[in-house]
Every structure is written in C-alpha cells, then in structure tokens.
C-alpha cells in the first residue's frame, strides 16, 4: 500500500462526554476522490477536524503517508500536506483576495500551485484580487477558499460542503473546474449534500450515520435505495 495517502483506523472522537465518532476506519489512495456523505450531525466535519488535528481523537490512529498524526499540531499537519476548505469557508475577512491566497501558501510546500496557477483556474479572482474577500459573491468566496487551500500544495484536500448556500449555476461552474483542480495526483475527500452529485464525481464513497460508517464502497456499486437507507438509517 505504498500509495496510501491517508489511513484512519478505529477512530473515536468525543466532545466532552458526547461521542461524535465511533470506530471509523477509512483509507484513501493517491489521486483518489472519496465522497463523504451523511445527514446533519453524522460526524463528517468532526472527521475532517480530526484529520487536520483540530480535535484530538480519544482512540484510534490517523496515518498520513504512514506517519501517525494523532498527536501533531494542526500547523504541523498542514506542513505535512493536508489542507481543508472548511464549512462556511472562513476567509480572512479584513484581507484582500490575494492576501488570503498568499497566506494559504505560507507553509512553503513545493508543488504545482502558485498564485498564477490559481488565477489561471479562477480568472475572476485575478480580476478581483485587490477586493476585500468578503466583497465577493458566495461562489467567488468559495473559489478563494479552494485557491487558498491549493496554495499549500497539499497531498490531501478536504472539501467540506463545497456547494452549501450557492446558486445551482455557481455549483455547476465549480464542479466543472474540479477535474483541473484535482488533476495533479491530489487525493481529495469531498463532503457534499447533493448525494447524486457526490456519487457521480467520486471513485469511492463513505456514508456516515450517527458517528459510524453505515455504508462504503465503490460509488457505482449501490442502488439509490441502498444509499438512501444508509443515509437515513431506515
Ligand atoms: N464543537 C462541538 N462541541 C460539541 N459537540 C459538537 C461540536 N461540533 C459538533 N458536535 C456534535 O458532534 C456531532 C457531529 O457533528 P459534525 O459537525 O461533525 O456533523 P456533520 O456530519 O458535519 O453535520 P452537518 O452536515 O450538519 O455539517 C453532532 O452531534 C454535533 O452536535
Ligand atoms: Mg459538517
């Protein structure tokens, strides 16, 4: 398994006494796009936070290219090649578009992503580079968040609720760019509310329900009813 980028094994995460993740295991290979689906509160964002080191698991292992990251700081995990586009984007509100992007590159990891390449993929961001990030539309802000994550030249990109709150036409535009974004051997975990879309773009999927994995496998291997049962627990 030389090309396994992320290996999560028997993960248990708590907030105080409340358990949010129960024995979750998954792996992702180099260049793979994995969709992570599940209803509200299933534990998707918590799993992302654990992978980024923002919450510390009580048990289990998170291995990034073979190295256990469970006790490392979020900054160290970023240096090791994990970038997240968080739910709600969380741009630096007082900074310009370009300053947000440049900050994403502060870790100094070498790789294909530079300001020029981000502007090449998202020309509107070049046009608006001097604007405060918050002056942009929701879709453009999502592009800034994606660009900022790419600027760290990650090996593993975590996309949380990529299309939340965006107009259908904007969602279509962002998904149309996905092949260019992921075309560099990047491994990606995508949290997407639109299950049909999530299944269509991914190789494999994991469905979470109440902190556990209720179904996983190849994205083309299950019927709509099987996936719906795993999603809603019916
Ligand atoms: N900071 C926190 N403190 C306490 N409990 C939390 C915290 N964040 C999440 N939880 C709880 O952990 C569980 C998993 O939440 P999480 O946000 O990971 O779910 P999610 O799958 O991302 O949901 P959504 O689709 O709504 O974003 C929920 O029961 C939630 O209430
Ligand atoms: Mg979430």
Look up the CATH number of the domain holding residue 99. 3.40.50.300
- Element of type H or E holding 84: strand 82-85
pLDDT digit of tens for each residue in the chain (234 aa)? 459 999 999 999 999 999 999 999 999 999 999 999 999 999 999 999 999 999 999 999 999 999 999 889 999 999 999 999 998 888 988 899 999 999 999 888 999 999 999 999 999 999 999 999 999 999 999 999 999 999 999 999 999 998 888 888 889 988 998 888 888 689 999 999 999 999 999 999 999 999 999 999 999 999 999 999 999 998
Count of other CB atoms within 10 angstroms of residue 67: 10
Give the per-residue pLDDT at 121: 94
Distance 43 CA to ligand 2 centre (A): 7
Name all contacts of 8-11 with Cβ < 8 Å and 24+ positions apart. Answer: 8/47, 8/51, 8/60, 8/61, 8/62, 8/63, 9/60, 9/61, 9/62, 9/63, 10/59, 10/60, 10/61, 11/47, 11/50, 11/57, 11/59, 11/60, 11/61, 11/62
Taking the C-alpha atoms of residue 142 and residue 144, their distance in angstroms, rounded to an integer, is 5
Per-residue tokens: 64: 């990034």
Residue-level pLDDT at 182: 87
51 touches ligand 1 (CB under 6 Å): no
CB of 18 closer than 6 angstroms to any ligand 1 atom: yes
Q: Which of 17, 20, 44 to mutate to test the pocket of ligand 1 (most atoms within 8 A of CB)?
A: 20
Confirm or reject: Cβ of 53 under 6 Å from ligand 1. no
Number of domains forming the structure of the chain:
1
- Looking at residue 2, its pLDDT comes to 58
Q: Is the CB of 42 under 6 A from ligand 1?
A: yes
pLDDT at position 108 is 83
The reply to whether ligand 1 has any atom less than 6 angstroms from the CB of 88 is no
Domain of 166 in residue numbering reads as 4-232
pTM: 0.95
Q: Please, which residues have CB within 8 angstroms of residue 89's CB and are 6 or more apart in sequence?
A: 141, 142, 144, 145
Supply the pLDDT for residue 202. 94
Helix axes 168-182, 138-150, angle to 10 degrees: 10
pLDDT of residue 223: 94
């Amino acid at each position: 398994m030389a090309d396994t980028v992320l290996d999560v094994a028997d993960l248990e995460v708590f907030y105080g006494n409340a358990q949010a993740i129960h024995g979750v295991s998954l792996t992702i290979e180099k260049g793979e796009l994995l969709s992570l689906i599940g209803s509200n509160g299933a534990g998707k964002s918590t799993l992302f936070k654990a992978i980024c080191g923002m919450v510390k698991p009580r048990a289990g292992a998170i291995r990034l290219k073979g190295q256990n990251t469970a006790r490392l700081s979020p900054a160290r995990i970023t240096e090791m090649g994990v970038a997240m586009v968080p739910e709600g984007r969380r741009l630096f509100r007082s900074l310009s578009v370009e300053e947000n992007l440049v900050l994403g590159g502060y870790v100094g990891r070498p790789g294909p992503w530079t300001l020029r390449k981000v502007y090449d993929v998202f020309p509107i961001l070049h046009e608006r580079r001097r604007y405060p990030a918050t002056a942009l539309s929701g879709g453009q802000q999502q592009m800034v968040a994606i660009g900022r994550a790419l600027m760290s030249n990650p090996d593993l990109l975590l996309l949380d609720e990529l299309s939340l709150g965006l107009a259908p036409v904007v969602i279509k535009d962002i998904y149309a760019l996905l092949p260019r974004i992921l075309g560099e051997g990047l491994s990606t975990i995508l949290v997407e509310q639109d299950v049909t879309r999530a299944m269509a773009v991914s190789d494999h999927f994991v469905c979470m329900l109440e902190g556990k994995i209720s179904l996983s496998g190849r994205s083309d291997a299950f019927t709509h009813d099987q996936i719906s049962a795993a999603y809603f627990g019916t």
